[in-house]
Chains A and B, each alone.
Chain A
Amino acid sequence: GDKVKQSPSALSLQEGTNSALRCNFSIAATTVQWFLQNPRGSLINLFYLVPGTKENGRLKSAFDSKESYSTLHIRDAQLEDSGTYFCAAENTNKVVFGTGTRLQVLP
């Protein structure tokens, strides 16, 4: 919701291109998680981050706690990357979600 704002809300990419998703926090986030919700509705863990960066294959994520934002970079987008991406911020043992970025990868 308002505590975690994701942008853009929706995005279409050509297969093979790159993009970046962003989350801005109005709460003091200690950790950040990124999830992909696939077309079946399952929530798949992508990253769990303390301040810093992580990389996994074509995905890379960064979390800057001082500037209160996190990014998710997708390189060489594939059709199976389509779905809704959620970021979630931890604050005092509660995890608050953004409203998601709906990504469609086009052939």
Chain B
Amino acid sequence: EAAVTQSPRNKVAVTGGKVTLSCNQTNNHNNMYWYRQDTGHGLRLIHYSYGAGSTEKGDIPDGYKASRPSQENFSLILELATPSQTSVYFCASGDLGGVNTGQLYFGEGSKLTVL
């Protein structure tokens, strides 16, 4: 069974603080994704990665950085958190365009509140 694990599951941060959301996958998928989910917007793509060392901008990358140090791990970094970044963040892995199934597998989500 595909496994994507996010940490922390809940985080309260202060405005201007640094936040790192971590994601680990045991699927050996090349691609990993970070989305945020807000009421009325569905899931919006922030950053994604094709493999270790690769990061790509998604549709709403401003205010976020990403890091992919290994096949298994993909982090989302908020250097200077703002209240507008209060949201639920989802990580996913998949091998779209490759020879595998191509499905996205999601973690359980990380709820971030920036005060």
Contact = CB atoms under 8 A, between A and B. Distances in A.
Contacts of B96: 31, 90, 93, 95
Contacts, number: 57
Given A90-B96, A93-B96, A97-B44, A43 B102 contact: no
Given A94-B45, A96-B45, A45 B103 contact: yes
Given A94-B58, A95-B94, A100 B105 contact: no
A43 B59 CA distance: 20
Interface residues of B, number: 27
A48 B33 contact: no
B52 interface: no
Nearest to B105: A45
Contacts of A31: 96, 102
Nearest to B45: A94
Interface residues of A, number: 21
Contact of A94 (B48, B88, B106, B108): B48
Interface of A: 1, 30-31, 33, 35, 41-43, 45, 48, 86, 88, 90, 93-100
Given A31-B96, A43-B90, A93-B97, 17 more contacts: A1-B41, A1-B44, A31-B102, A33-B104, A41-B108, A41-B109, A42-B109, A43-B106, A45-B105, A86-B42, A93-B31, A93-B96, A94-B45, A95-B104, A96-B59, A98-B42, A99-B42
